[in-house]
Structure 1
């Protein structure tokens, strides 16, 4: 986009393909753009860690791989659509913690985070035809000191399942967090300020 081009002259984004099955990402996009028509088209890729891959390298690789997989499998009527993919990881000392495999694993993850700081890293890709933008956003999150009993009680709510690091800041997991530095929506799963910054570069406005 020509940086002299006025925001108001851009067309408002009306639809996109979301390469994610996450209801949180869909809800965040609708928070930003309530009338947006979202086609959910999750990427079917192997998200396993490669060797000693860092959390940052992992999210960048997976967001790009998801974009390629989604674009390759789009039905005819969606070809040429704007595609958004993202990957979020909770990272401690450079290592991605992943999602809990069981309630016991969730307890173990949360006790590792107790009283400590960690990073939530999201890589997102916006692609339409040959035009492609990628962004990495990092938020620092500090947990308060938690007791084993408290962690077990939280895990028993079921909220830990299928969440990076085993907690949801937008839900009851907010009670575990002492402070955050950076983007809150990034911790939920999609940094909206990054989406808002990148969309005009792709030729669209939000408002």
Structure 2
């Protein structure tokens, strides 16, 4: 009989994903990276492939992160456990919009989102080395019309800098959002329904 995992690894440095996993009672260890590696996406090519649509893009990144995490466990001779990874991106007019390069880029992105609807896509993947599974969550978000002053102040606050689409729903940008259709946790970066379904597939005891 296979052993029931008592914890998982999280292949992400995102504090929001850690918070969401704790919310549903998941015990996890964050997979850290040694010097010389460029953070959580060191092995992941985040440049979209030619003609790659946003759904395939975000799924590809989540799967690659999970499988890369498993390889690190093996390299470092760490105890085996399921590896969870996720990727979140924003899509507007068919364009993939990632994290802003600087405050000016964040402001430019927010001006494009002002008064319009966009999609937030989060893919979550789990691998145990022998099998890998994923789920995709897609949510629609509508911004009210934003003024230039509030865009500038928000961009200068630093909050947009590590977030796909240059905003975080759990922060100050919540006051920009007129309507959401989908998953609040998915917009934050880890859709909890899909995550729980995946954890069940790997026999992780949630309740």
TM-score by length of 2: 0.88
Pairs within 5 Å for 1:171-182? 171-182=171-182
CA-CA distance at 1:176 after TM superposition: 1.0
Which of 7, 14, 17 lines up with 1:22 in the alignment?
Answer: 14
Q: Secondary structure at the match of 2:162?
A: coil
**Any idea what SS the aligned residue of 1:161 has?**
helix
Structure 2 unaligned regions, length at least 5: 33-39
Deviation at 1:20, TM superposition (A): 0.9
Residue pair 1:90, 1:121 contacting (<8 A) in 2 also: yes
CA distance in 2, matches of 1:71, 1:28: 22
2:183 corresponding residue in structure 1: 183
Matched, 1:38 2:36: no
Match of 1:51 in 2: 50
User: After superposition, what is the alpha-carbon deviation per residue over 1:62-96, rounded to whole angstroms, capped at 9, x for unaligned?
Assistant: 11111221111112123x31100111001112211
Unaligned 5+ segments in structure 1 are 1-9
Shift of 1:53: 2.5
Are 1:100 and 1:163, in contact at CA under 8 Å, matched by a contact in 2? yes
Alignment of 1:37-116 (within 5 A): 37-41=28-32, 42-45=40-43, 46-74=45-73, 75-78=76-79, 80-116=80-116
Partner Cα separation in structure 1 for residue 142 and residue 132 of structure 2 = 33
From the superposition, tell whether residues 161 and 69 of structure 1 become closer, same or farther in structure 2 (CA, over 3 Å): same
Give the Cα–Cα distance (whole angstroms) in 2 for the partners of residues 52 and 37 of structure 1.
36
**Distance in 1 between residues matched to 2:12 and 2:152, nearest whole Å:** 29
Show the 5 A alignment for 1:127-146: 127-146=127-146
Between the aligned partners of 2:115 and 2:194, the Cα distance in structure 1 is 29
